[in-house]
Amino acid sequence: MKEYGFIRVGSIVNKLALANPMENAKELSKLIKEASKKDVSIVVTPELSLTGYTCGDLFLQSKLLDDSLKALEYLLNETKKLDIISIIGMPLKHDNQLFNVAAVIQKGKILGIVPKTLIPNYSEFYEKRWFASSIDLINKEINLLGNKVIIDSNIVFKDNKNSDIAFGIEICEDLWGVNNPSTNLALNGATIIFNPSSSNEIVGKHSYRKNLVSMQSAKTISAYVYTSSGMMESSSDVLFGGSSMIYENGKLSKENKRFEIESSLITADIDIEGLVNDRIKNRSYMGNVTNKSYQTIFVDIDNKLKEIDRTYKQYPFIPSESKKDENLSEIINIQASALARRLITIGYPKCVIGISGGLDSTLAFLVIVKAYEKLNRNMKDIIGITMPGFGTTGRTYKNAIKLVKEYGATLKEISIKDACLVHLKDIGLSSEDRSVTYENAQARERTQILMDVANIENGIVIGTGDLSELALGWCTYNGDHMSMYAVNASIPKTLVRHLVKWIADNTEGNKKRVLEDILDTPISPELLPPDKAGNILQKTESAIGPYVLHDFFLYHMLRYGSSPKKIYMLAKLTFKDSYTNDEIKKWLKVFIKRFFTQQFKRNCVPDGIKVGSISLSPRGDLRMPSDANYEAWLKEIDELND
């Protein structure tokens, strides 16, 4: 999995023997070996995990400090055959001072020492009684257990083979300060931040602490691995709960259960490639690099991962259940508010829209209704035009009419059959022909009608096409491809259905019934005649593949810049119970070929509001040549061995 940019990290909370370093070293040794068996590449332990955080003035006793060094030496010997990198918290004498440090060890060697920078001295904390800050360092090299080792807070540990896999360390209070060390560590290349901590529990602090870790992870576009001392610390005045959590770019990947007496280990697989891609895309990210001198220590970060232990959403554009109502409501509001703003600018014209009885035109129509409610406009100024053609079925025709009437808009019915027959005759195409010209002639005739009616009514044409159709080029150039404002431009097909369903669920009566029937109708452009029973014969997903797959491909390609082979690997993992590997590979190749070859359509799309993290507007998120070659992308898929 290293080739895909994944790495497994771990967070340990050890059952503590307070002020007994050797016992703690034995417990840590077991946990590190357990983490190694689970293919963890880097693991972190709590702040001062060798001694305990609450030793008080025992930190001033040479016995405790000497025992800590012996315990570290024990750990080095116990783990010298392991490839795993371990971050161990301990007190350490240096430059006539005592430092609270994290020792980074691997294969029996000390790779580096990171001292704490911000030393808390308020409320229940009085660390300055014992510990100096990294700012007070005189020499940034220490002779430790017979070896010269770098000791510095400004260290980034980078993998010899892949420098994107890099980590830095800040300790406890360092996170809580205004100018966090992790910010500068991230700016200097660290994609993973480890925080060995000792954070006590009081009411409300856990939620605040999680928010703090989440925001720092999001702000630095990093993975943040946090672990805190457990409940076997002293309870003289405060209690420690052993909070342990792993975040990736602001999102929680794994969390332990607090207030446990026994030790715990959590692991998570981090997508380093995704983090780096986000940093590259965010051109503001490197806009505040300090002049501090940072040292790079190159290390061999072992990665034995064969399968990743993480899941991906089959519907990445769909909000999670916990935030569904809030987010779906916000999406509709963004669409409607953008349209309202455009209508204000151009003098409140009427809105003209083609109503097919399908999902896309239904959503666009509902957005217009919402915009009109916002502007206190008369619904009669919404002109919904149904334009029956050769493939129109009775079901979609009836639903189109019902939809417009139920919302009090103005209905117009204009058949395109006669006009298309004349046009096909004019260009010398048989009426029995079923080529793409036959289909596109109908789409362009409909667009011409909409544009001309808009001229007559002093209105604008509202586009109904969605993000998925733009990605695949599944639209007729200068037909349904064109409008005067495109409200669905960044709404993928899978999200269109959820939005219409959400509106239906919050609607009553006949409106609800017509929306539910539209939701049950197969997706089709209805440009080919129906079957003998009058049912839809032309089904889009039979021709170009399942939209659930295409939206998944689109999301991972544009959101994270994932390679074809990585997208295929993630799709296999995510859809293993729904599609075979051959099916996924087949539709991925269709997606790539169409995505590249249809850019010319996207280069001249009308204005359309961006709603989520992905847009294909040439004025916004995607500037891509129309003649880019896709052969290397297809070849990468063909060369894959399952």
What positions carry a catalytic annotation? 47, 116, 172
Distance between CA 617 and CA 634 in Å, rounded? 24
Strands 295-299 and 155-159: parallel
Both tokens assigned to 150:
């770098």
Residue 593: Cβ-neighbour burial (10 angstroms; 0-12, 13-18, 19+): middle
Tally the residues of the chain: 642
Both tokens assigned to 580:
């075979």
Instruction: Calculate the alpha carbon distances from 175 to 162, 165, 233, 287 in Å.
Output: 27, 21, 21, 21
Amino acid symbol at 69: L
Distance between CA 414 and CA 421 in Å, rounded? 15
Helix ranges, 457-606 (H): 467-472, 493-505, 509-519, 540-544, 547-560, 564-574, 581-597, 599-602
Distance between CA 379 and CA 432 in Å, rounded? 41
Taking Cα atoms as reference points, which of 274, 277, 267 lies closest to residue 310?
267
Taking Cα atoms as reference points, which of 380, 453, 383, 442 lies closest to residue 417?
442
Q: 88 with 73: CB under 8 angstroms?
A: no
Distance between CA 357 and CA 377 in Å, rounded? 24
Name the residue with tokens 């002109």: 383
